[in-house]
Chains A and B, each alone.
Chain A
């Protein structure tokens, strides 16, 4: 048992539902108790979805508990099949079905006999995988299923498209800024003369999946969803894929260079000449994106050397860390992710970019880390935003878990050249607001709030502050106050001083050079 207040990634079935409900005309039936269809609320509310979420439950109640689902699941599948004629029905297990151990595969087999639609049992175990892993797995499963089916029917199409083309794998409902990213990605590829073969799962028909292998290569913008399917396509169909996201100018340039290589594998045959995107990248970087100029401008100089903490999913946390350090000259004291399953890769990505790496699913650990480091800004999830609120540190939200605010009607991609503009804004505004906030402090202050330097961690040092020292501390600008308190306490502890007076404060200041 684990005492938990908050989780970054949801349960497995959420991942499956995200994939299933993103495809067009696919219906998911959850094997779940009443009340577990909260996914519908989330999708309908946060994305302001106009259509009914194609998810229903085959309700597990006392009756089912006592006697098993019997025909209930099969009936529910057949009913949906008749009512809405979906192309496919995905039976989705939940934590409840994981322990009931009913033979869901058997239900699926039986229902398949009567249904027009393809019935699939999502192969995810609640206790083994989380939302992100499950979404990856389900997407892989569906792609495999329909490609194998097409192969058996002899309808699969493996001939490459005449012009260079790509699949985008991993755009889905409830993804962080996914819709905007997708648009930006399409534009980027379009400008390189690459057409989009398919985008999955978002909005694609399953019957079209047989044409997936016609693309020249695959793009997996987020490591969290799509890697497994892309790996499968590489192994079975020899399709190369790019899984380094084009987030930030450097990454985008890398991304385009990767594409150039992949296109040139076939270009001389199909196009009669090789492509070269150098000019495109230069043009975009210099003139289209403002991010490069921005980081040279005086504004950004002010940010140089400022401290930040980063935390989020593996894709976003790693990319943002790289942007902060390499493109904006900001010091990242700590970079972290909750994607434990991708820890190794994450470590590799941020190696040498930050002082410290933290990999945890426990938000209190992140909170304590932030309280200890006291960065000038945080880049994290909604949770970090609230941690920041409590200790007066501004936060830019860069990653899911998502919130209704993360579905802005305005255009806000994170990917590509427009994405880097957006990220510049986000970073600059976070720091800038922070500075503005502290200016009153510097000029004598209107500090009626009292000192807010309470660390979040429980292991407080047992040291007293004299009232004089306490009021001296209050005169120090807010954004360094916490740090001075900490350094002074550290100094006092080292020198066995139990009460901190003004003298001790200055002694500590001389010792350390802040």
Chain B
């Protein structure tokens, strides 16, 4: 692969801190309004969710634990009967349109056959049951969403095949009638069949819809949709494009199992990413994107105040949510130097467009290429940070306060997962997050640092 020759990739011990992937229920139950998420696991999983999700836990969330007890582990109790009892209770209390079972480490280890039991109970209870194994043995944090979406991809209705023929005819039509733009655009509007995948807050999703609509590329559906019974049609002739860098399993499933065509593009994070994303999609549909350059420039101009703060500063990504490459690329474009991009897992194929965009951006901005460290080792990273002294560390909450006490400004990485960071208009939100620690730097706290007992070196 071209990018790997220039970008340096490394792999460390995997001793790093991140959230367990079951945390994806936190945003997915809110996204899919008629769903219920049942995490089949232990007290450990429950305690994690309860603490990680903070106050949402008090708001009668549409998720719960099926807490495994000793009898379940020793197989004294019958899994199917137990799950049926619990799902029946959920059905009576909440009446959801779909129940997701989230498999955990424990169900993996005791080999509980969730995939086998689900279809049986689905029939008996009359409720779709989707199984996703989002556990800490295999995945990190946001990859949880990936497993859920990949499981959902199987439930999407089949796209009607006859349309394919038309779209081929249509493509030739577009080619031959480049001067009669009006007609062709109208045609494209009805025929492009583009499905986007990745869970975004609905307002962000409609912003992206709008951006594409401006280029006359209508979005025919999203995975996931707002409601379970509005899942998009998938099949041969449908183009799919990801909006998040951690969705490689979903992408694979869509290509291999649902025969969709994947549009490999950088991700719509930052005005540069958004533009590249739109351009790539347009090129697939043989459309010449218009007005994108002005729009991008506008955004850069609008955010000059923030970008000025970032210029010449350095940043270190410890890595825990897989958004790292895209955000790093955006920050380099803002004039920052990125020392290291830690990342839990790197799918070079799914991220290839983003990686070459990163490379390209480094050249353009005359910045050194950052090293990309897969499965990082937090301890070694802290040692490296000690030497590099970055202006900013983007890190998990376990390290934020201790690093602050050692004079390294930090931004919690989790916030990027929950903030609205996609599309041009949300670029300011990203910048707002990144500059926040730098902006408060001049306060009186900066003189009273290094209050900790441990030193960074030992």
Contacts and interface: CB of A to CB of B under 8 A. Distances in A.
Interface of A: 1-7, 10-11, 13-14, 32-38, 40-42, 44-45, 48-53, 56-57, 59-62, 65, 76, 83-85, 94-96, 99-100, 126-128, 130, 383, 386, 389
Contacts of A49: 401-402
Contacts of B57: 5-6
A203 B51 CA distance: 25
Contacts of B105: 33, 60, 95-96
Interface in B158-194: none
A4 B67 contact: yes
B396 interface: yes
A314 B261 CA distance: 60
Max chain B C-beta neighbours (<10 A), residue from A62, A83, A95: A95
B18 A35 contact: yes
B454 A3 contact: no
Nearest to B73: A99
Contacts of A2: 65-67, 69
Contact of B402 (A33, A35, A50, A126): A50
Nearest to A125: B70
A53 B398 CA distance: 8
A16 to B, nearest CB: 13
25 contacts: A1-B66, A4-B66, A5-B57, A10-B47, A11-B44, A14-B47, A33-B20, A33-B136, A34-B16, A34-B137, A34-B140, A35-B136, A44-B399, A44-B402, A45-B401, A50-B451, A50-B452, A51-B454, A52-B454, A60-B137, A62-B137, A94-B44, A99-B109, A126-B43, A130-B43
Contacts of A56: 15, 379
A152 to B, nearest CB: 31
Interface stretch (B81-89, B231-239, B266-274, B280-288): B81-89
Nearest to A127: B70
Contacts of B18: 34-35
A108 to B, nearest CB: 19
Contacts of A65: 108-109, 137
A11 B398 contact: no
Contact of A7 (B15, B50, B399, B453): B50
Nearest to B16: A34
Contact of B396 (A13, A34, A41, A84): A41
Contacts of B458: 84-85
Nearest to B90: A3
Contact of B453 (A3, A42, A50, A57): A50
B399 A52 contact: yes
Given A49-B401, A94-B44, 12 more contacts: A1-B77, A1-B82, A5-B65, A33-B135, A34-B14, A34-B140, A38-B52, A44-B398, A45-B400, A51-B405, A52-B398, A84-B458
Contacts, number: 163
B344 to A, nearest CB: 8
A1 B77 CA distance: 8
A390 to B, nearest CB: 8
B58 A386 contact: yes
Given A38-B48, A61-B138, A99-B109, A1 B20 contact: no
User: Closest 6 A-B residue pairs measured CB to CB?
Assistant: A35-B20, A33-B136, A40-B398, A35-B136, A50-B452, A386-B58
A389 B58 CA distance: 10
Among A5, A53, A56, A389, the most chain B Cβ lie within 10 Å of the Cβ of: A5
Contact of A83 (B140, B379, B454): B379
A37 B401 contact: no
Nearest to A80: B379
**What does DSSP make chain A's interface, helix, strand, loop or mixed?**
mixed
A406 B451 CA distance: 22
A57 B15 contact: yes
B262 interface: no
Nearest to A11: B43
A44 B400 contact: yes
A34 B43 CA distance: 16
Given A59-B15, A65-B109, A94-B44, A41 B397 contact: yes
B376 to A, nearest CB: 12
Interface in B19-68: 19-22, 40, 42-44, 46-48, 50-52, 57-58, 61, 64-68
Contacts of A6: 50, 57
Contacts of A130: 43
A44 B105 CA distance: 25
A10 B138 contact: no
A99 B74 CA distance: 9
A36 B136 contact: yes
Contacts of B454: 51-52
B47 A35 contact: no
B106 interface: yes
Contacts of A61: 14, 137-138
B328 to A, nearest CB: 22
A51 B399 contact: no
Nearest to A1: B82
Given A14-B47, A38-B51, A59 B14 contact: yes
A386 B453 CA distance: 37
Most buried by B among A11, A38, A53: A38
B346 to A, nearest CB: 16
Nearest to A2: B67
A3 B86 contact: yes
A71 to B, nearest CB: 13
Q: From B51, B66, B68, B110, name the one whose CB has the most chain A CB atoms within 10 angstroms.
A: B51
Interface string B417-436: 00000000000000000000
Contacts of A389: 58
Nearest to B20: A35
Given A7-B43, A10-B47, A57-B15, A1 B138 contact: no
B283 to A, nearest CB: 38
B452 A51 contact: yes
A41 B50 CA distance: 13
B408 to A, nearest CB: 12
A2 B42 CA distance: 10
Contacts of A95: 42-44, 105-106
B122 interface: no
A95 B46 CA distance: 12
A127 B42 CA distance: 9
A1 B402 contact: no
A37 B89 contact: no
B401 A41 contact: no
Contacts of A42: 51
B398 A7 contact: no
Nearest to B70: A127
Contacts of B211: none
